Structure 1
């Protein structure tokens, strides 16, 4: 049986226990506060959001270097037959492009996948691939399955403010300035093209939360719900309440509950609540 290594990037917002259980290799992106640059895994969520609250200028994020990928791929190819490398939407980051650049400099079976999604939804795709490896599927089967998984994964989130998404340049099809002025709280979806878009508009935080459960039911269109993930940006108690409400509405227990990491948090800010669901 071929030995397959699984790689992703830190924007998958995977729980530490999942990374360890499935031996997932996570490439960090970088976050800069002024002249201070960190790999995102050097900052705890608590430290990042504390810095974010105090900073005068928003931090900047940057993708890994080709050498970051080349070093990891080289190491993994020594004791693996193939590598599957699944990354944040190419519409939001150049990470997958950089991974492909590194791949071209090496002799080895490396499969770079543009997930066309981000954060919790990317994490669900990676988790599905990890389980497929454990079941003994080969690389071609896993890649085919990932195409289907992406069609059956949805992510929706609501923000405390659109300021971070605007200033970070990831506003996509979300109408930020008007929304901020009118105090509209959009529910944001990552579309099939991997770009953030307004799924629906609400007038309050609670309306936004309630609409996510209804949206998942509609987007699922009768399909079986198999996995639910919940994430937040420095809003744990709200997220626990959100988790309970969503579990009740969907009759599905969340298997993932995590804090959104520094890279995604730079663009979404504190107070973010989000969820991703996988259908079958």
Structure 2
């Protein structure tokens, strides 16, 4: 097998099982409640949302520094010849830029990939990268194939409220819905530029889940589904409903079921439910 390390960040929302199975090294982002900083995942999901609901000011998220990446990369290069590092969309975070600055110091041994995605969408790309590494494929070919993978992943989610996206400055094109959404659930797509784009709205969470299903059917454009991942933020019942709907409609088992990281939760709030679908090339 190729001697290549695989790195991602905590917003990929990989389960412990996935990290172990695919040998993924995860660099965490941070959530800052005032002067108190927590690494992503340091707070249990329940504790995080309880804390989020009790504070007056929205906590801030922060990316790893170039120095954090250098420390991880240098450690891994003691064991591996090269590294593929896949991260959160540059439209949503400076994480990729920090990774690239670190990579510039390490003699072209680090290959940084902008997923142009978030959460389960990154996870599906990371899993495909791991499989390609296991197949002993050369890095230039892996990077080329990952561009195709990125183009074949669709990520959609619904929110209970736009409050957190707006306050956190990550609202993107969803800002067009502000002022019109009193008790209405937006349906959002991560577009090809890695930006949140509104694609629908519904008067209930269940109706929003149905819209997500219809959007996937539309976006499939005749392509066959390869894998599906579902993620949620303090909305396990709704996520399970979405999982059941997906499996019934597309006759494909959901491969991964996870909860979103605290960093994503800061910007989406409780009640978030989403899906990422990887289509065959």
- TM-score w.r.t. length of structure 2: 0.96
Post-superposition shift, 1:41?
2.8
Could you tell me which runs of 5 or more consecutive residues in structure 2 were left unpaired when the two chains were aligned: none
Q: Which residue of 2 aligns with 1:146?
A: 146
1:205 to 2:205 alignment: yes
CA apart distance, 1:108: 4.5
1:197 deviation in Å? 0.5
Bigger CA drift: 26-35 or 241-250? 241-250
SS of the residue corresponding to residue 189 of structure 1 reads strand
Q: What do residues 236-274 of structure 1 show as CA deviations (whole Å, max 9, x unaligned)?
A: 122112211121111111011111110111100000010
- Confirm or deny: 8 A CA contact 2:228 2:254 kept in the other structure: yes
Segment of structure 1 superposing worse, 254-263 or 202-211: 202-211
Q: For 1:25 and 1:186, how far apart are their aligned partners in 2?
A: 33
Q: Contact (CA 8 Å) 1:179, 1:186: kept in 2 or not?
A: no
Matches within 5 A, 1:177-216: 177-181=178-182, 183-216=183-216
Alignment of 1:127-142 (within 5 A): 127-142=127-142
CA distance in 2, matches of 1:260, 1:13: 6
Total equivalences in the alignment: 279
Determine if the alignment matches structure 1 residue 109 to structure 2 residue 109.
yes
- Alignment partners' CA distance in 2, 1:179 and 1:69: 41
Structure 1: where are the runs of 5+ without partners? Answer: none
SS of the aligned residue for 1:83 comes to strand
RMSD: 1.2
Deviation larger for 201-210 or 72-81:
201-210
Counterparts in 2 of 1:5 and 1:169: CA distance versus 1, 3 Å: same
Within 1, Cα distance between the matches of 2:61 and 2:22?
A: 27
Matched, 1:42 2:42: yes
Deviation at 1:46, TM superposition (A): 2.0
* 1:45-77 deviations in Å (ceiling 9; x for gaps): 222112112222111001101111000100111
Native 8 Å contact 1:86 1:112 kept in 2? yes
Question: Distance in 2 between the 1:134 and 1:160 partners?
Answer: 40
Equivalent position SS for 1:14: coil
Q: Deviations over 1:167-217 (max 9, x none)?
A: 000000003422333x33221001101110101222322221101111111
The equivalent residue for 1:20 is: 20
State the Cα distance separating 1:2 from its structure 2 match: 3.4
Alignment check: 8 A CA contact 1:232 1:260 kept: yes
Counterpart position of 2:91:
91
Contact in 2 for aligned 1:213/1:250 (Cα 8 Å) = no
TM-score, length-normalised on structure 1?
0.96
Query: Which residue of structure 1 lines up, in the alignment, with residue 278 of structure 2?
Result: 278
Alignment match, 1:2: 2
Q: Between 42-51 and 122-131, report the one with greater CA deviation.
A: 42-51
Q: Is the 8 A contact 2:2 2:134 kept in 1?
A: no
3-state SS of the aligned residue for 1:136? coil
Alpha-carbon distance in structure 1 between the residues aligned to 2:181 and 2:66: 38
